[in-house]
Structure 1
Amino acid sequence: MYSKTILAAAAIAGVQAQSSINSTSGYLNYTTVTGYFLQDLASTNVSTFDYTATNFGLINRTYPATAGLKANLTQWQQFEAQVNALNADAPLNTAYKVLFLGRHGEGYHNAAQTFYGTPDWNCYTSLLNGNATASWFDADLTPNGIEQALIAHDFWAHEIATQKIPYPQSYYTSPLTRCLKTANLTFSGLDLPQYYPFVPSVRELLREGISLHTCDHRRSRTYIHDLFPTWNIESSLTENDELWNGVTAETSDAQDARSKIVLDSIFSEDDHTWISITSHSGEIASILRVLGHQSFSLSTGAVIPVLVKVTFLPSGPPPSNPPYTTSTHCAAPPVTSIASLAQGCVCSGTAVGGITTPIFNISSDYPTSAGYQATDLGPVVTSAPAISSYSY
C-alpha cells in the first residue's frame, strides 16, 4: 500500500487482485459498474429478490477477460478474472473493488415495529428502551434474526465450496450489537484461508442512521471489546456513544456525508479488492447512494455484492457537513401519522405535528452493565458533534 503522503492511487492485479487508493488530499469518486448483478438492473423486483436463489445476484454471462478460455470455470471464477483484468488495465488513479453489503438479521426493534405499527413506532415506542418482554436499545438479534444470519453462513459455505467465490479479504462491521452478532454468525466457522482470516474492523460510521430511536444508540467500546475481544476496534471509536443524543437526527444528506467519510477511510487504507461490510438498511441505502447505485432495499439478513470503480481526483466538491435536524415525536402513543407532516406524528391533544422535547433526559452514558442510559434526571444534551470533526 502506498504511503498516505503520496497523492496517487494504485491498482495491482494477480490471482487474488488487490488495489488501493491512498491520499491525504484530493477526492475519491465512486461509480457503480453495472451489468454484472441483478441488483444493478431497474427491472429486478426488490420485493421478491432472493440472494440465495440467484448466486448473490451474479448474472450468468460471458466476460472479455475469459473469452476463449477452455477451463471449466464457475461464474464467480469468471467474474473474479474479469475484476482482476479491470484492475490490471486501470489507470494509476483508478481501482475496482467488490463490496459484499450485508444487512443484519432481524432485531428486536424490527419485531417491535411490526408489532406496534409504523406510526406508533416512529412517533413514540422507538424512543423507549423496550417493553415488559423485550429490549430494543442497541437491539440484539431475535431467534429469527439468528436464523437469517445462519442462512447467510450456510450460503457462503455453499458458494465457497461449489462456486469457488472469492473470499472476502477484509471484514467491516457497524458497532451496533445486531451487526456484530450477524457478522460473527455469518463468517465464523467457514473454511477461510489463514491469510484472509475473519477478524472484522469495527467502524463507528458504519452504524445505522442516527435518530431518536434507542435501537440506534450503541453500547460502550468496552462492551464491544468484551463481546469480541480479538476484533479490531478503530482507535477513534469512543468509550461511550457521542453521536446519539436522543434529540437530534441525521438528515439523508448528513448520513450520506458520513458514509462518504467511512468509504474514503476504508478505500484509502485497505488494499484489498473483496470487502465485506455488515451494516443496516438505512446505512446500506446511504452507501448505495454514495456509490451511485440504484435504490435497492435489503430484507433483514440479506446480502448483495456491488462492483465499484474508485477514481482518485486531484480535487472535488468541498467537504459538506449538513446539520442534524430536531425531530418531533409524541410523549404517548400517537393518534396517527400523516406523511405530509414534518415527522408524520399526530399526538394526543395536538392538532398537527409533535413535540421536540425528549421523552428521556440523558444524565449519563451506560450507568449499568445492561447499557441503558436514559433516565428522567439530569440535563438534556441538545446538540450533536459535527461528524467531520472525527478522524475515521
Structure 2
Amino acid sequence: MGSIPARKYSFESVKGFFLQDDPATNQTDFHYEAVNFGLIDRAYDTDTPGDADLTQWQRFAAYVRHLIETSPADTTYKLIYNGRHGEGYHNVGEAKYGTQAWNDYWSKLDGDGELYWFDAHLTAKGTQQALHNHAFLKRQFAQEKMPAPQKYYSSPLYRCLQTANLTYLHLDVPVDAPFTPTIKEMMREVMGEHTCDKRSSKAVIHKAVPSWNIETGFTEEDELWRPDHRETFAEHDARTHALLEDIFEHDSHAVLSFTSHSGAIASLLRVMGHREFGLPTGALIPLLVRATRTQ
C-alpha cells in the first residue's frame, strides 16, 4: 500500500444533526428518501425571525457556514454526501454462492463463466439504484434547497465511476461547481484477494470518464492490490485517514460528494467515530465532519 504519512489531523463526525448518527435509528429499515436525507428538524443558534420561510436545509447550511467562519484556525468543517455504488456483478456473485464460498474461492477468480466480476461493473439493478438517487437529489436540491456538492470525489473502481455519473450527471448544480469528479486511489474498497476490488488500468479509466480528473501519482496499473493479502481494518483505516487529510489539506470547499464502497464508508465512519451504519447497494449517507489540525 505504500507508506502512510504521519497524522496531522483528527476527524470527528459531529452528532445531533442527522438521524443516521442517532443510536435510536434502526439502520435495517431506514429510508433516507422519506425523511429529508435524515436531517433532523431542529433549531440552530444562527436562526433568526427572518428565517421562517427558509427550509430546514437552508437553515442548516447557514449554520455550517457559521461554524466554518467562526471556528479556530486549527479547526474546520465539511458536509460530505457519501454514496455506495449500485449493485455490481460481484454482489450478485456473492449472493449466488454464499459469503463463505465467495470469500474462500469465487472472489479470487475473475468470474464463473456466467458472471464477470473483475473490477465489477453495475448490473441493471445497480443502474436503477443510481438513477433513483439522481431523482432523489434532484428533488432535494429543488424543493428542500439542499446545497449541491462543490467538489466530487470517486473511487477508481468501475462501478463507482458508473454510479457517480448516473447519480450526478445532468443535475442542476451551480455553474461554478460543475460535476467534474476527481478520482482518488485511497477511496477504493478493501484491497486484496478479491478480484472485484482490483482496478482497471489508468487508460481504461480515462477512456470511461475522459472529462474527470485523475489525481497526480495515479499509476497506469494497479500496484496496490495483492492476491495473497486482504487489508485489515487497521490498514484500511490508516489509508482512509490519509485520504481525509489529503482532501482537508487541499480542498477548501464546504460541501463534498464521495462515491465509494460499503467497506470504504464503514472505514470512514470508524475513523470519524460515527456509529456503525451499514448501507445497502446504491444508498447514501450524509456526514458533518469536524477536522482539527494536531500538528
TM-score by length of 1: 0.73
The CA distance in 2 between the partners of 1:86 and 1:102, in whole Å, is 24
**Residue of structure 1 in register with 2:12 after alignment:** 31
The CA distance in 2 between the partners of 1:215 and 1:50, in whole Å, is 28
**Residue of structure 2 in register with 1:212 after alignment:** 193
Q: Deviations over 1:206-248 (max 9, x none)?
A: 0000121100000000000001111000121100000112111
The CA distance in 1 between the partners of 2:277 and 2:226, in whole Å, is 29
**Residue of structure 2 in register with 1:101 after alignment:** 82
Q: Deviations over 1:83-102 (max 9, x none)?
A: 01111221111111111110
Match for 1:283 among 239, 256, 264? Answer: 264
Q: Per-residue deviation at 1:31?
A: 1.1
Contact 2:191–2:230, Cα closer than 8 Å, also in 1: yes
Match for 2:213 among 232, 236, 244? Answer: 232
Q: Deviations over 1:18-45 (max 9, x none)?
A: xxxxxx9872111111000011111111
The CA distance in 2 between the partners of 1:26 and 1:128, in whole Å, is 36
Corresponding residue SS for 2:152? strand
Residue 180 in structure 1 maps to residue 151 in structure 2: no
Match for 2:124 among 136, 143, 162? Answer: 143
Q: Which amino acid aligns with 1:218?
A: R
The CA distance in 1 between the partners of 2:288 and 2:51, in whole Å, is 25
**Residue of structure 2 in register with 1:251 after alignment:** 232
**Residue of structure 2 in register with 1:75 after alignment:** 56
Q: Per-residue deviation at 1:133?
A: 1.7
Corresponding residue SS for 1:66? coil
The 1:248/1:26 distance shift into structure 2, 3 A limit, reads: closer
**Residue of structure 1 in register with 2:246 after alignment:** 265
**Residue of structure 1 in register with 2:67 after alignment:** 86
Q: Per-residue deviation at 1:279?
A: 0.3
Corresponding residue SS for 1:98? strand
Residue 312 in structure 1 maps to residue 293 in structure 2: yes
Match for 2:145 among 155, 161, 164? Answer: 164
Contact 1:95–1:310, Cα closer than 8 Å, also in 2: yes
Contact 2:7–2:242, Cα closer than 8 Å, also in 1: no
The CA distance in 2 between the partners of 1:295 and 1:69, in whole Å, is 38
Identity %: 49
The CA distance in 2 between the partners of 1:26 and 1:56, in whole Å, is 32
Q: Which amino acid aligns with 1:182?
A: T
Q: Per-residue deviation at 1:147?
A: 0.2
**Residue of structure 2 in register with 1:298 after alignment:** 279
Please list every run of 5 or more consecutive structure 1 residues that lacks an aligned counterpart in the other structure. 1-23, 315-392
The 1:195/1:130 distance shift into structure 2, 3 A limit, reads: same
Q: Per-residue deviation at 1:184?
A: 0.4
The 1:285/1:309 distance shift into structure 2, 3 A limit, reads: same
| 1:338-377 alignment runs, 5 A limit | none
Q: Which has the higher helix share?
A: 2
Contact 1:26–1:312, Cα closer than 8 Å, also in 2: no
Question: Which of 1 and 2 has higher RCO (CA within 8 Å, sep 6+)?
Answer: 2
Q: Which amino acid aligns with 1:98?
A: L
Corresponding residue SS for 1:99? strand
The CA distance in 2 between the partners of 1:193 and 1:298, in whole Å, is 28
Q: How many residues align?
A: 291
Contact 1:218–1:241, Cα closer than 8 Å, also in 2: yes
Q: Deviations over 1:308-334 (max 9, x none)?
A: 1111122xxxxxxxxxxxxxxxxxxxx
TM-score by length of 2: 0.96
Q: Per-residue deviation at 1:103?
A: 0.3
The CA distance in 2 between the partners of 1:232 and 1:193, in whole Å, is 19
Residue 62 in structure 1 maps to residue 80 in structure 2: no
Please list every run of 5 or more consecutive structure 2 residues that lacks an aligned counterpart in the other structure. none
Q: Which amino acid aligns with 2:254?
A: T
Q: Deviations over 1:319-377 (max 9, x none)?
A: xxxxxxxxxxxxxxxxxxxxxxxxxxxxxxxxxxxxxxxxxxxxxxxxxxxxxxxxxxx
Corresponding residue SS for 1:260? helix
Runs of 4+ in 1 over 4 A off after TM superposition: none
Q: Deviations over 1:2-33 (max 9, x none)?
A: xxxxxxxxxxxxxxxxxxxxxx9872111111
